[in-house]
Chain A
Amino acid sequence: SGRARVDDDLLEELEEVLITADLGMQTTRQLVDAVEERLGRSEAADPQLVRQVLKQEMISRLAAVDSPLDLEQARPMVIMVVGVNGVGKTTTIGKLARLWTSRGKKVVLGAGDTFRAAAAEQLAIWGERAGVDVIRHAEGADPGAVAFDAARAAVARKADILLLDTAGRLHTKANLMEELKKIRRILEREIPGAPHETLLVLDATTGQNALIQARLFKEAVEVNGLVLTKLDGTARGGIIVAIANDLGLPVRFVGIGEGADDLRPFDPEMFVRALFE
């Protein structure tokens, strides 16, 4: 056919960049196809141009689903934070509390992780750092009861934002996913429309499994936004391109460290540029 083809050496080089950044084989192939689709035969022989068009393709996929979090849609705006174990949920909540408090919002935190050792203590320290109230129960308590109390407290204290932490859980554990759904229902019952945002936290060091995580958490609790943490390491977090493609989920924030201020809004262009560095 007359179709443009990127030559084998360049293809292997690009594959290495994209695969190494955790985009996955399928997305990588789709992107290369899209590039070949767009370019003429002679253009496809120009490595510079190919790279440039490839970046554009990625940026446009991410930009197409990109949308900032609208905090004004409800009051209190209820945000539930979910994800697998150890990805950075609690830390991200601490950072968000700090960010929004500094912008004049009244924030309340709910310590919905009653399972992991000292999870509530950890959140309480973040609450102190941001100067916000933390609603917590004893370890081993019912997380639904925490959600209930936190929702009540957010309303009573006229909070602008309630951030509810949840215990890390693998998306494959049916009973734990059921528990999340129950927490969701409790929030909804207490505050109509809640949770207004369900944030799935993904660790940038995670590989292809992040796509399955996103799919299953979305199915279970209607995730509408992502936070990509640990981008301060050497992992690139390229799986979010596949997630944008397949599930249309936007990245709301990225985590770039363990400190309270190490959180940034997501910028598709910057993200893609970093993939090639």
Chain B
Amino acid sequence: MFDNLTEKFDTVFKKLRGRGRLSEENIKDALREVRLVLLEADVNFRVVKDFIAAVRDRALGQDVLKSLTPAQQVIKIVREELARLMGEGEANALDLAARPPVPVMLCGLQGAGKTTTCGKLALSLRRQKRNPLLVPADIYRPAAIEQLKTVGRQINVEVFDSQPGQDPVKICEAARAYAELNGFDTLILDTAGRLHIDSELMQELVRIRDSLEPREILFVADAMTGQDAVNVAESFNQVLDISGVILTKLDGDARGGAALSIRAVTGKPIKLVGMGEKLDALEVFHPDRMAQRILGM
């Protein structure tokens, strides 16, 4: 696809050989190809529009027009601009610097990968010599609590004992008290999947946040998400003021344009990525790699 893009650019620019300077129109032609690539990668329509405008400005402001290799030049700008938008150079480590037990809340749409990621996070923290407690606060999905308990058993991390009949806020509060008494330094809160337009359930998350004051509020998103990613991420961020994003299921072949969309509308860093179903398949996020992936490079 990268070669594709280069080829397409070359064709666009070749037409102009011998006709003197490139015009603004030629840059536009090249950027039309970029637009296509981004839309095919599921970057949101509006986000693409803004991105293309930014790249156009930068390209026109430089001497791309006089360059001997205009295709490479434009691609370089596209890549850099994309990596910058993805958070290149910004800190994206989890921040757990607070008085223990430090609550970390995961939230997101149904089936995004929250429960699995809670397990991954617990395992990763354990390896960093922390002592996490998993907290099942999903009382809605059939067997959600049992799922987290099974995950906990697999990695040998304790799961707070809760029942489907209890209020999720109460579960989290009781878990905090339990953690204080029993020397756990981190609380990983597994909340139920919910739609961003379900105001009652969104308010439940607000109540958990207000009571527990999580150090990290992580929005978990499926890398295969399409255009709707902006609506969902924007709502979760507006309601909860999330602290970061975890992108799951990046082990597939989805181009992952949702990453760019989410980043663009929330301005919040993508902190971690899920690379598989196994509980050790959690990695740090690399903005430059993501940029290349979105471009199909």
Q: Real complex partners, A and B?
A: yes
Interface of B is mostly: loop
A64 close to B (CB within 8 Å): no
Residues of A close to B109: CB separation below 8 A: 205, 230, 233
A217 close to B (CB within 8 Å): no
Residues of B close to A126: CB separation below 8 A: 142
Q: With CB as the reference atom, state the residue of chain B lying closest to A233.
A: B195
Contact A16 B45 (CB under 8 A): yes
CA gap between A139 and B113 in the complex, in Å: 19
In the complex, identify which listed stretch (B1-9, B13-21, B99-107, B222-230) lies at the interface while the others stay far away: B222-230
Contact A122 B147 (CB under 8 A): yes
Residues of B close to A206: CB separation below 8 A: 222, 224-226
In the complex, identify which listed stretch (B60-68, B79-87, B246-254) lies at the interface while the others stay far away: B246-254
Residues of B close to A203: CB separation below 8 A: 111, 222, 224
Residues of A close to B224: CB separation below 8 A: 84, 203, 206-207, 209-210
CA gap between A94 and B249 in the complex, in Å: 25
**Contacts A85-B249, A139-B150 hold; do A209 and B142 have CB atoms under 8 A apart?**
no
**Contacts A84-B252, A234-B196 hold; do A117 and B147 have CB atoms under 8 A apart?**
yes
In the complex, identify which listed stretch (A18-26, A31-39, A156-164, A188-196) lies at the interface while the others stay far away: A18-26
A40 close to B (CB within 8 Å): no
Select one of B39, B111, B197, B227 contacting A86, CB under 8 A: B111
What is the distance, in angstroms, from A146's C-beta to the closest C-beta of chain B? 17
Q: With CB as the reference atom, state the residue of chain B lying closest to A203.
A: B111
Contact B110 A19 (CB under 8 A): no
Question: Using a CB-CB cutoff of 8 Å, which residues 172-221 of chain A contact chain B?
Answer: 172, 203, 205-210, 212
Residues of B close to A236: CB separation below 8 A: 228
Q: With CB as the reference atom, state the residue of chain B lying closest to A28.
A: B39
Interface residues on B, range: 35 or more
Question: Using a CB-CB cutoff of 8 Å, which residues 189-246 of chain B contact chain A?
Answer: 195-197, 222, 224-229, 231-232
A225-242 Cβ-contact flags toward B at 8 Å (1 or 0):
000001011111001000
B36 close to A (CB within 8 Å): yes
Select one of A25, A118, A121, A205 contacting B225, CB under 8 A: A205
Residues of A close to B257: CB separation below 8 A: 207
Select one of B39, B142, B226 contacting A125, CB under 8 A: B142
Chain A interface (Cβ within 8 Å of chain B)?
15-16, 19-22, 24-25, 84-88, 94, 115-118, 121-122, 124-126, 139, 170-172, 203, 205-210, 212, 230, 232-236, 239, 258
Chain B interface (Cβ within 8 Å of chain A)?
36, 39-42, 44-45, 109-113, 115-116, 119, 140-144, 146-151, 154, 195-197, 222, 224-229, 231-232, 249, 251-255, 257-258, 277
